[in-house]
Amino acid sequence: MKITKTAENSWQSLVDGVQAGNIRAMARLITQVENREPGWKDAMKAIYPHTGSARILGITGSPGAGKSTLTCEIADELVKRGHQVGIIAVDPSSPFSGGALLGDRLRMKKIFTLKEVFIRSMATRGTLGGMSQAARDVTRIMDAFGKDVILIETVGVGQDEIEVVKTADRVMMVCIPGQGDNIQALKAGVMEIADLYVVNKADLPGADEVMADIYAMLDLSSEAGQPTPPVLKTSALKNQGIKELVTTLMADSTDSNRQKDKREMQIKEEIFSLMEDEVFRHIRHRWEEDGEIAEAARQMIEQKKDPYSIVAKLLQGFI
Ligand SMILES: Nc1nc2c(ncn2[C@@H]2O[C@H](COP(=O)(O)OP(=O)(O)OP(=O)(O)O)[C@@H](O)[C@H]2O)c(=O)[nH]1
Ligand SMILES: [Mg+2]
């Protein structure tokens, strides 16, 4: 889409504002990019050279595991260590997204007022261009602003949420006591993306059993000679185990090859996914414009052609 001179200027001034550390510019740019307003690609092009220094941590786990509470505690500890923190909460029911904060969660409220912390919620459904891409864009804007640690919270159910958390450098899986049976079920989708396990709510009975279950599962599934992911115990509510967790999260990866491969895979994934969007949009537009698709539909209705032959024929003209 062509952008006007003024639009171009205002994009540039927003990008400049983000780089200068202007919070309102960052908030506005995020909204405009999320809404895919004309020219957003130019904004993201301008942002990219200023990214690459943030550490991106994904936090996932079953609903109610304490992800948001833990995210706040982690953010609080990171600020104490001198970091600038961005939080992306991909979850409509998250306490981050509304006034749903309970009165007794004072600690959580506290981080809302810290100038070192910027919180942004993202709606789960209906994100233009896909949730993963939106998360990547928002992460990069925060990175360019100067946030050096970015936490992405998503519920570990549903493919979309898992795709989002896969955009992080490191993924932390939050488990809770009484979840022993679930640990086995986790294996399938989430296992291979988790770099670190946390048993939260360790103030409740049964934490050690869950830890043992996780170790057993890791033993079964890890390849010989590969480092196993750390398993830690926390109580976000009582602020226990948070310092150790933050130290582990901020430590350099013990497996730099895995980290490198992962990064390359993420980048390829992003390129393919953007390409898929663009190519599809382009083809669709063309076929609708020149009436080819209407003609194809007519042939199918008249039982003259099957959909596979139609697509094969249409693609012939394109490739
Ligand atoms: N006992 C105990 N309760 C906790 C702990 N951490 C969080 N909780 C409570 O667990 C409930 C859910 O916490 P959240 O932080 O909203 O959990 P979540 O995983 O973000 O939940 P969703 O985003 O809705 O999936 C709240 O009532 C918290 O106060 C903990 O360490 N111990
Ligand atoms: Mg939450």
Query: Could you say which of 3.40.225.10, 1.10.1740.10, 3.90.1150.10, 3.40.50.300 is the CATH number of the domain covering 52-253?
Result: 3.40.50.300
Q: Is the CB of 68 under 6 A from ligand 1?
A: yes
- Each as own residue / partner, the long-range contacts of residues 187-191 (CB below 8 Å, 24 or more positions apart, any chain) are 187/217, 187/221, 189/159, 189/162, 190/60, 190/156, 190/162, 191/217, 191/221
What pLDDT score does 25 carry? 96
H-run or E-run covering 149? strand 149-155
Residue 82 has pLDDT above 70, yes or no: yes
**What is the rounded distance in angstroms from the CA atom of residue 208 to the CA atom of residue 213?**
9
CA of 43 to the centre of ligand 2 (A): 30
Number of H helices, E strands in the chain: 13, 7
Q: How far is the CA of 70 from the centre of ligand 1 (A)?
A: 8
**99 has pLDDT over 80:** no
pLDDT band at 4 (very low <50, low <70, confident <90, very high): very low
Note the pLDDT tens digit of each residue in 242-262: 999 999 999 987 778 888 898
18 φ, ψ to 5°? -60, -45
Choose the weakest-confidence range: 11-25, 38-52, 305-319.
305-319
Protein residue whose Cα sits closest to atom 29 of ligand 1: 237
Residue percentage of the chain with pLDDT more than 90: 56
- Alpha carbon of 305 to ligand 1 centroid (Å): 56
| Cα–ligand 2 centroid distance for 236 (angstroms) | 12
Q: Which residues pair with 232 in a beta bridge?
A: 198
CA-CA distances (angstroms) from residue 15 to 58, 140, 166, 242, 311? Answer: 25, 11, 26, 35, 42
Question: Which residue's alpha carbon is nearest to atom 21 within ligand 1?
Answer: 64
Alpha-carbon distance 267 to 168, whole Å?
11
Q: Six-digit token pair at 205?
A: 């009975």
The continuous run of DSSP H or E covering 136 comes out as: helix 131-145
Confidence at residue 104, expressed as pLDDT on a 0 to 100 scale: 42
Q: Which residue has the tokens 């033993």?
A: 219
- Which ligand has the minimum distance to the alpha carbon of residue 74? 1
Kindly state the helix (H) or strand (E) to which residue 186 belongs, with its residue range. Answer: helix 180-190
Mean pLDDT across the chain, nearest whole number?
A: 86
- Given a cut of 90, whether residue 221 has pLDDT beyond it is no
Q: Report the alpha-carbon distance of residue 194 to residue 256 in Å, rounded.
A: 16
Taking Cα atoms as reference points, which of 127, 136, 112 lies closest to residue 58?
136
What whole-number distance in Å separates Cα of residue 277 and Cα of residue 281?
6
Please check the confidence at residue 59 and state whether its pLDDT lies above 90. yes
Q: Which residues, other chains included, contact 49 with Cβ-Cβ below 8 Å and sequence gap of 6+?
A: none
Q: Between residues 196 and 104, which one has the greater pLDDT?
A: 196
- Residues 101-128: pLDDT tens digits? 443 455 667 788 899 999 998 876 656 6
- What confidence score (pLDDT) does residue 219 get? 83
Please, are residues 148 and 83 in contact by the beta-carbon 8 Å criterion?
yes
Task: Assess whether pLDDT exceeds 80 at residue 70.
Answer: yes
Of 95, 64, 158, nearest in space to 87 by CA = 95
For the chain, domain boundaries: 1-50, 52-253, 271-318
Give the closest residue (by CA) to ligand 1 atom 14. 66
Tens digit of pLDDT for each residue in 124-168? 665 666 788 999 999 999 999 999 999 999 877 677 777 888 899
Q: Which residue has the tokens 């009484």?
A: 178
Q: Which residue has the CA at smallest separation from atom 10 of ligand 1? A: 66
Phi first, then psi: what are they for 61, rounded to 5°? 155, 170
Residue 291 has pLDDT above 60, yes or no: yes
User: Which residues in 61-94 are b (16+ Cβ under 10 Å) and which e?
Assistant: bbeebbbbbbbbbbbbbbbeeebbbbbbbbbeeb
Q: What pLDDT does 159 receive?
A: 73
